Structure 1
Amino acid sequence: MAKKTKSIPVHSLPDGHNLGIVVGKMSAKEIPLDEASHAHRHDFHFFIIQEKGVTFFEVDFKKYKISKSSVLYIHPNQVHRFLETTDTTIYGLLITNENLHPEYIDLLEEITPVNPMLIKEDSLSILTDTAMLCIKSFERKQDRLYHTLLKDNCNALVALILSAYLEKDKPAEKYSRFEAVTKKFKASLERNFTTMKRPSDYAKILSISTPYLNECVKNTTGQPVSYHIQQRVILETKRLLYHSNKSVKEIATELGYDDYPYFSRLFTKVVGTTAITFKNKNLD
C-alpha cells in the first residue's frame, strides 16, 4: 500500500487547464497508473466511457471489474484508484462544478454512489460521437466562443451519461411521496453529514416532522434516518483511517464529534471492530 499522507490526496486538473475542463481519449498505455493507482479524490467530476478492454477500479473500498463497453461516474467526494487495465480504450471527461449546469449537479448528487454500467452498442455510439465532439472542441482553442462551445458540448455528454443512469431509475413523476422525501434527505445528508447528526436537523431542512421523515426513509430503504446518518459518517471515517495518517481523535473532530469516546463507540458498534484496530490493520 502507498505511504499514507496527512489527509486523503486531492487531485486537481493538470496545470494549464484553468478553464475547469479536460477531455480526451486514452489507451491503456497512456493511463498514468503510477499516479492513478494511489487512492485519491478529485476536486472535479470524473466521467469515464470505456470503449473496449478490461479495467479494475476500487471506489470506496469496493473493487469493480469493468469489461466491455461501460460508463462510470466518480463523484468528487469518492476515494478511488485504478488497479489494472488491459487492452483498454477510454474517453475521460474532467469537469468542475462551475462548468456544469446546476440541474446536472443536483442530479449527480442524487445518483451518487453509482456502479459502473454496461451500455449497448447504439448507446455507445452516441456517447463516443459526443465525446469526440468534446475532444475536437477542446482542441479548437482559436475559436472565439471556445469556452462556451466546449462547456455546452461537455454538458451534452454529461446529460447523456446521466440519462443512461436515470433510465434505470423511476421517472420523477412516478416516485411515491416516501421515495421523493428519501431522495431529498439523502442529497441533504451528503452535503451536511459533518455538521448535522440528528434526524430532526434534516426534517427541519425538508420542512416536515421528524416522525414523518423517519416513516418515509424507513418505508423506502428499510432503515431509519439515524442509520443512514451513521453509515455516511462511518464511510468517511474509513476513508480517512485507510488513506491518511490522521489519528482517530483528529478524524472525530473533523467529522463534527467533540465527544471522542462516543465517536469511538459508534464506530465499533457499526463496523464491529474498533477504529484503532481498523487503522492498524491497514498500516503498511
Structure 2
Amino acid sequence: MKKIPVYGIREFSKGSNEVYFYSNDLPNHLRSHQFINNPHSHSTYITILFTKGKGEHQIDFSSYPVKPGSVFLLNPGQVHCWKLSEQADGFVFFHTREFYDSIFTNRKITDFPFFYLQQNYPVIYLDKTEVVSVMSRFEEINQEFKANNSFKTEKLGSLIDLLYIELSRVYIKDSHDENKETSINYYKVKNLQRLIDEQFRTQKLPQQYADLMNMSTRHLNRLTREVLNKTTGDLIAERIILEAKRLLIHNDIPIANVGDQLGYDDVSYFIRVFKKHTGLSPKEFQKSTIKPFSL
C-alpha cells in the first residue's frame, strides 16, 4: 500500500508564489492536475461547485453523488477521490486556515457549520435558484484570483466569507436542525466533538472530556443522547475508528504502528477495540475494503 499523499497549495500553484489560496475552473483544474484522480488528502480547506456533469465523490469511506448544483466542502485531512463524467464543469478553490483566520479576527473558519468538525456532512445540493447566486460568487472569486489587483487578499477573503455565509444558510436549512442550531445543548455537544477531534489520540475516556467541559460524565452523556442519540463513548470511538480506517487503507505501515499512532501501547487491545466497533479485525478490514476507483 502506498502512503496517501497530502497536497498543499504549492502542488497546484507551481510557478507562482501563492501559498495560502488557489482557485480554478474545474475543467482546467482536472486537466492540469491528473494526480488528483487517485485517493489523496489536502492540508487546506476545499470548496468545489459542480455546474455540469455527474459522477461519484468518495470521502472517508462514504460515497456521494455528483450532479449539477453539488457543492462539496472538505476539511483538511479528509481523504477523497472521484469518478466524473467528461462533461464535468464548475469551480474549485482551496485556502489555508491562516488565510481566513488572519483576515477575520472576530471569528474563525471553523465557525461555519460545514467546517466545524472532520465528520460533518460534506455536501450541499443547491436548487436552481440557489445555483445562480452561488455560481456568481465562485466566478467572482476565480476572476479575482487570476487578476493582479491591489487589496487582492482582502477582497478574496470578503468574497469567500460571503459565499460561506450563503452556503451556511442553505446547509442549516437542509439539515432540518434549525431548532438545534440555537440550543445551548447543541453547542455543548458540538464543542465536545471538537475536543474529541483535537485530542482523541491521547484522551479516550468520557470522564476526561467531562472534566474538560466542567461537568459530570452522566450529564455529558445525557446531552449527547438528547442531541445525537449517542453516548460520549460512541463519539470518541467513531473518531478513533475513522482515523484507524484511514491509516489502514491509505498508509503502508504495520498494524502495530497504526495502533501506536492512535495512542494504543498494546496492539492487541487496539485490535479488540477495532473489531468491537467494525466487526472485523484490522487485517480483515484491509482485505475486505476495495480501494476507491483504483485500477
- What does residue 5 of structure 2 align with? 9
> Hey, what's the Cα distance between the residues in 2 that align with 1:256 and 1:86?
43
The correspondence of residues 1-284 of structure 1 with structure 2, limited to 5 A, is 4-5=1-2, 7-13=3-9, 14=12, 15=14, 16-27=16-27, 30-31=30-31, 34-101=34-101, 102-107=107-112, 108-110=115-117, 112-141=119-148, 143-169=149-175, 170-171=177-178, 175-282=182-289
Contact 1:182/1:220 (<8 A) preserved: yes
Shift of 1:34: 3.4
> Hey, what's the Cα distance between the residues in 2 that align with 1:223 and 1:84?
35
Please tell me the residue identity of whatever aligns with 2:124: M
- What does residue 104 of structure 2 align with? none
Shift of 1:112: 4.1
Shift of 1:110: 4.4
Task: State the aligned residue count.
Answer: 279
Please tell me the residue identity of whatever aligns with 1:168: D
Shift of 1:17: 4.7
Structure 2: state its 5+ residue gaps.
102-106
Q: TM-score, normalised by structure 2?
A: 0.86
User: Secondary structure at 1:234's aligned position in 2?
Assistant: helix
Structure 1: state its 5+ residue gaps.
none
CA RMSD of aligned residues (A): 2.3
Q: TM-score, normalised by structure 1?
A: 0.89
Q: Report sequence identity in percent.
A: 21
User: Secondary structure at 1:147's aligned position in 2?
Assistant: helix
Please tell me the residue identity of whatever aligns with 1:166: I
Please tell me the residue identity of whatever aligns with 2:258: I
Contact 2:249/2:286 (<8 A) preserved: yes
